[in-house]
Amino acid sequence: MKCVVGIDLGSTTTKAVLLDERGSVIGQGITNSRSNYAVASAVARDEALTAARFTMLQRAFEEEQRLGAVETQTLLERLSACFRLEVYLAQLEQLGHEMSRLLAGEQYGRHRAETDAPARDILAECVRDAHLFFVPGARRRSDFFRDLAGAAFMAGAERRAREGQVVFERIVALFDRAIFDVETWLMNVEFATLLSRALDRAMPEVVTDAGRGETRKDIKAIVDRVATIPIEESSYVGTGYGRQTLPFPKEAVRSEILCHGRGAHRVFSGTRSVLDIGGQDTKALQVDDSGMVTSFQMNDRCAAGCGRYLGYIADELNIGLHELGPLALQSTKVVKINSTCTVFAGAELRERLSLGQRREDILAALHRSIVTRAMSLVARSGGIRNEFTFTGGVCKNPMATKVLSELIAEHYGSDIVINAHPDSIYMGALGAALFALDDLEAGRARLLPA
């Protein structure tokens, strides 16, 4: 199977999108961006390749018709969840190796014995309870390994610290150092091996009738075959905040402005105006009826109008980034924020909380400030023309979307169509993949250097 690859190396997350030769999305992958951008790109690409395998599995099951439509979908969902569980368990095993390596170093000295046993016990609990993140209906705050493992490990560390078994700061420092190495670890377990283990977990849950032995054998044969089909990556294009660091030839690197515009237009063909609020920068674009950018404005690399600003505020409040929007929606009073600068916002936030102001009201004001700042970029880029598409990670924040809709209605009219997509964070990578497909069709495919 042939495909093309688009990589969007952002300051916070790195995304990858795979398209088949017909231009259909067959796989998407995302990971935390790291100091080693090459590793982040490789991890995102591997995630997209895994997703592509599951797309191929779905197509194979539909062609073979060994199961009904509902049963097929249920099997694929459980197989995907069990596969993620196998990956998570492999990462926990690597985390254990890294902790052991660090504890063997001189820095722990006389504290080694009192830290080693609790760390092993906590990690064993993480392994024991790992399946709870992947059972049907499980609600996870994040899909990133650092977040899942971190929440589980910290809970165990806090309990043991209260019982006097360990010094909390010491064991947390061990985790923080070890998790960094795991995040830069390219998994050396073959996809087929993990998928086979996942199938062993998922099959009894879905094909429950013991008398359907032939069906089970047929399913295993399909899974084994798809797991080993070669995937040929025929062309690459990279974009994003860190695009110049990608190990691509310069001809395979495109502006994130062009990629976001084209990706938004691909998903919503009526798009004429685009606002992308990412982790490090904000971009306002105007595109024509073919998705080409005709004008744009970009912020000055200040984090105040971006997702990183919201991340900083979440850290100040010690809550998850995903909790900010829903919390801000509970606001009952309009307050005014004096500073939208990341450097001073934390101090103002703490001062207002000390004065008794509700954090819901403060957060609502912060969201309004951020979106108002972004709207000024939209105005400078040419305003809003139907249709308007909101992309980037902040698009998933319900308070940001609410404020944006209100401001658009106020300044441009209530008849503007506002588009948002569940996978809006992939728009840049999608645009890059579309450019890679252009290169392939034109006979100038861009490949990674050997």
Residue ending a domain, choose from 121, 155, 183: 183
Residue ending a domain, choose from 143, 165, 183: 183
Within this chain, do residues 177 and 279 fall inside the same structural domain, yes or no?
A: no
Within this chain, do residues 275 and 159 fall inside the same structural domain, yes or no?
A: no
Domain-located, residue 415: yes
Within this chain, do residues 407 and 284 fall inside the same structural domain, yes or no?
A: yes
Could you give the C-alpha distances from 39 to 31, 66, 91, in angstroms and in order? Answer: 10, 39, 15
Domain-located, residue 24: no
Domain-located, residue 140: yes
Q: How many domains does the chain have?
A: 2
Tokens 């300051």, located at residue: 11
Q: What's the pLDDT at 60?
A: 92
What are the two backbone dihedrals, phi and then psi, of residue 7, each rounded to the nearest 5 degrees? -120, 130
Within this chain, do residues 166 and 287 fall inside the same structural domain, yes or no?
A: no
Within this chain, do residues 172 and 278 fall inside the same structural domain, yes or no?
A: no
Domain-located, residue 206: no
d(CA 170, CA 192): 38
Among residues 439, 445, 448, 364, the alpha carbon closest in space to that of 398 is found at: 364
d(CA 138, CA 136): 6
Count Cβ atoms below 10 Å from residue 384 Cβ, excluding itself.
23
Q: What's the pLDDT at 119?
A: 93
Q: Which residues contact 355 (CB under 8 A, 6 or more apart)?
A: none
Within this chain, do residues 285 and 148 fall inside the same structural domain, yes or no?
A: no
Q: What share of the chain is helix, strand, coil (3-state, %, to 5)?
A: 60, 15, 30
d(CA 67, CA 71): 6
Within this chain, do residues 280 and 380 fall inside the same structural domain, yes or no?
A: yes
Task: List, as own/partner pairs, every contact residues 15-18 make where C-beta atoms lie below 8 angstroms and the sequence separation is at least 24, other chains included.
Answer: 15/44, 15/240, 15/425, 15/426, 15/428, 15/429, 16/41, 16/44, 16/45, 16/47, 16/48, 16/429, 17/48, 17/426, 17/429, 17/430, 17/432, 17/433, 18/48, 18/49, 18/51, 18/52, 18/233, 18/433
d(CA 240, CA 255): 7
Domain-located, residue 386: yes
Tokens 């952002």, located at residue: 10
Q: What's the pLDDT at 289?
A: 94
Domain-located, residue 329: yes
Q: Which residues contact 439 (CB under 8 A, 6 or more apart)?
A: 4, 235, 237, 252, 445, 446
Domain-located, residue 193: no
Within this chain, do residues 277 and 414 fall inside the same structural domain, yes or no?
A: yes
Within this chain, do residues 174 and 302 fall inside the same structural domain, yes or no?
A: no
Q: Which domain holds residue 117?
A: 105-183
| CATH code: domain of residue 361 | 3.30.420.40
d(CA 179, CA 175): 6
Residue ending a domain, choose from 156, 183, 210: 183
Within this chain, do residues 397 and 274 fall inside the same structural domain, yes or no?
A: yes
Domain-located, residue 100: no
Per-residue pLDDT of the chain (450 residues; tens, 9 = 90+): 899 999 999 888 899 999 999 999 999 999 888 767 888 888 899 999 999 999 999 999 888 877 778 888 888 999 999 999 999 999 999 999 999 999 988 877 777 888 899 999 999 999 999 999 998 888 776 778 888 999 899 999 999 999 988 889 999 999 999 998 888 787 877 889 999 999 999 988 877 775 567 788 888 999 999 999 999 999 999 999 888 888 788 889 999 999 999 999 999 999 999 999 887 788 999 999 999 999 999 886 555 557 677 877 887 887 777 788 999 999 998 887 765 565 556 677 788 888 788 989 988 988 888 888 889 999 999 999 999 999 988 888 899 999 999 999 999 999 999 998 888 999 999 999 999 999 999 998 877 665
What are the two backbone dihedrals, phi and then psi, of residue 139, each rounded to the nearest 5 degrees? -110, 115
d(CA 33, CA 250): 21
CB of 378 closer than 8 Å to CB of 384 = yes
Tokens 């997702």, located at residue: 307
Within this chain, do residues 281 and 414 fall inside the same structural domain, yes or no?
A: yes
d(CA 388, CA 382): 12
